[in-house]
Amino acid sequence: METKTMNIKIEKAKTSKIDKVDFDNLAFGNVFTDHMLVCDYKNGSWNIPEIIPYQPISLDPSAKIFHYGQSIFEGMKAYKDENNDIWLFRPLDNCKRLNISAKRMAIPEIPEDYFMEGLTALLKLEKDWIPQTPGSSLYIRPFIFASGTGFHASPADEYKFIIAFAPSGAYFSGKVKVLIEEKYSRSANGGVGYAKAGGNYAGQFYPTQLALEKGYNQVIWTDDNTHEFIEEAGAMNIFVRINDTLVTAPTSDRILDGITRKSILKIAKDEGIAVEERKITVSEIVEAAKNGSLKEMFGAGTAAVISPISAFGFRDVDYDLPEIGDNYASLLKKRITDIQYNRAEDKFGWRVKV
């Protein structure tokens, strides 16, 4: 059965997998919906997107994604409120950041209307897949990769843009213990750290694996030059509370401009919390842990929203963070998720109804 919606051709799946899904016990990113959006870049322009049944992709062995790593992605979520209305959170920011990543990786930018209209059409088709179990949401993965062929080390001439959905539960359960990394770097000045390029994450896996073997859950990355300054926590931006001031590292060409990060900064200021965007030294964190002024640390990102850090390790010493009742992590997470799930006023204009 084929229909036309917003000039996007829709080929519906013959059968649905939805009845086989336990929506009360969802892992993160392991279950996928019935359909996906696909859009090809050929002959110098993007074709009109299509929605097709979720399925494997066939690529030539010489496709440049396999050889030169032209691959970028975004992470978003869709939410359903008590009235079964569907909401997105700052989707145009995701589209903008995807194109910032595209430009850095010499990938043609996707038109905003292709992104938004394609996403909206796919959400309307898959609306029953949006979970309403507390803490769950529909994770959205837009991505672009080089499908053009050839072994020559140059940008591809063909690309594929896909949006796929995964109904998901919490990314992390409970608090995490992190290791401050002094040998390996996530990114470097002049590099691609600010882009959501697939290779950035591949490069993190090995150092993170070493940290896991030592009993930690994640790595805190430090600057590539001196390893004196903390920058990100795993695949998330990092926040530190010293006394009653919330501190986070400024964005740069090494640090991703996180949408959750920006939202936290705005909400914290709205709550009257003192906020500083500045470089944070490892020695400052260690000293604050020793003298008791380090109250909280947490990671922030789309998948986990806010992930509290219970302890950090540095040079074979672990430092536990205190359990405090009036913690910023819980307050800020509630403020953000209440906006996302349409449970509270959105004074910032971030929520978009589908």
Residue-wise pLDDT for 15-50, tens only, equals 999 999 999 999 999 999 999 999 999 999 999 999
Q: Please give the model's pTM, rounded to 2 decimal places.
A: 0.94
CB 86 within 8 A of CB 174: no
Q: Which of 153-162, 164-173, 212-221 bottoms out in mean pLDDT, i.e. has the lowest?
A: 164-173
- Take residue 353 and report the two structure tokens written for it: 């109804």
Structure tokens at 281: 């030294």
Tell whether the model's pLDDT for residue 172 goes beyond 90.
Answer: no
**What single-letter amino acid sits at 115?**
F
Reported as a pLDDT band with limits 50, 70 and 90, residue 234 is confident
Helices 112-125 and 91-104: angle between axes, nearest 10 degrees: 130
- In angstroms, the Cα distances linking 330 to 121, 134, 324, 339 are 34, 15, 10, 14
Q: Where are the alpha helices (DSSP H) in the chain?
A: 65-68, 91-104, 112-125, 198-213, 259-270, 282-291, 328-340
* Residue entry with tokens 């403020």: 335
Q: Specify which residues 177 forms β-bridges with.
A: 311
Class of residue 83 by CB neighbours under 10 A (exposed 0-12, middle 13-18, buried 19+) = exposed
Residue type for position 72: I
Band of residue 3 on the pLDDT scale cut at 50, 70, 90: very low
CATH class for the region spanning 2-168 = alpha beta
pLDDT band for position 170 (cuts 50, 70, 90)? confident
Is 272's pLDDT higher than 90? Answer: yes
Using a pLDDT cut of 70, give the percent of the chain over it.
Answer: 97
Residue 235 — very low, low, confident or very high, per pLDDT cuts 50/70/90? Answer: confident
Which of the four pLDDT bands, split at 50, 70 and 90, describes residue 119?
A: very high
pLDDT given at position 29: 92
Residues 311, 216: Cα–Cα separation, whole Å: 9
Instruction: Identify the three-state secondary structure at position 250.
Output: coil
Instruction: Please tell me the predicted confidence (pLDDT) of residue 128.
Output: 97
Give the pLDDT band of residue 78 (cuts 50, 70, 90): very high
pLDDT at 1 over 90: no
Q: Which amino acid is at 285?
A: I
Top CATH class, 176-339: alpha beta
- Beta pairing, strands 218-222 & 176-180: parallel
With 80 as the cut, is the pLDDT of residue 90 above it? Answer: yes
Q: Where residue 6 falls among pLDDT bands split at 50, 70, 90?
A: low
Q: Supply the mean pLDDT for the chain.
A: 95
Q: What is the pLDDT of residue 171?
A: 78
Would the pLDDT of 202 be above 70?
yes
Instruction: Assess whether pLDDT exceeds 90 at residue 121.
Output: yes
| Mean pLDDT for the stretch of residues 293-306 | 94
Angstrom distance (rounded) from CA 266 to CA 275 = 9
Q: What is the pLDDT of residue 50?
A: 97
Residue 332's SS3 state is helix
Q: Is the pLDDT of residue 175 over 80?
A: no
The residues spanned by each domain of the chain are 2-168, 176-339
Q: Which of the 8 DSSP states describes residue 189?
A: T
Over residues 331-350, mean pLDDT? 97
**Rounded mean pLDDT of 204-219?**
96
Tell me the residue type at 279: K
CA torsion 340-344-345-349 (nearest 10°) is 0
Measured distance CA(299)–CA(247) in Å, rounded: 12
Count of beta carbons in the 10 Å neighbourhood of residue 323: 9
Q: What is the pLDDT of residue 5?
A: 52
Q: Are 273 and 328 in contact (CB under 8 A)?
A: yes
- Residues whose CB falls within 8 Å of the CB of residue 26, separated by 6 or more in sequence, listed in order: 131, 133, 136, 167, 168, 169
What pLDDT does residue 4 have? 45
**Which residue's structure tokens are 């590099």?**
191
Tell me if 74 sits within 8 A of 143, measured CB to CB.
yes
Q: What are phi and psi of 131, to 5 degrees?
A: -75, 155
**What pLDDT, on a 0 to 100 scale, did the predictor assign at position 7?**
85
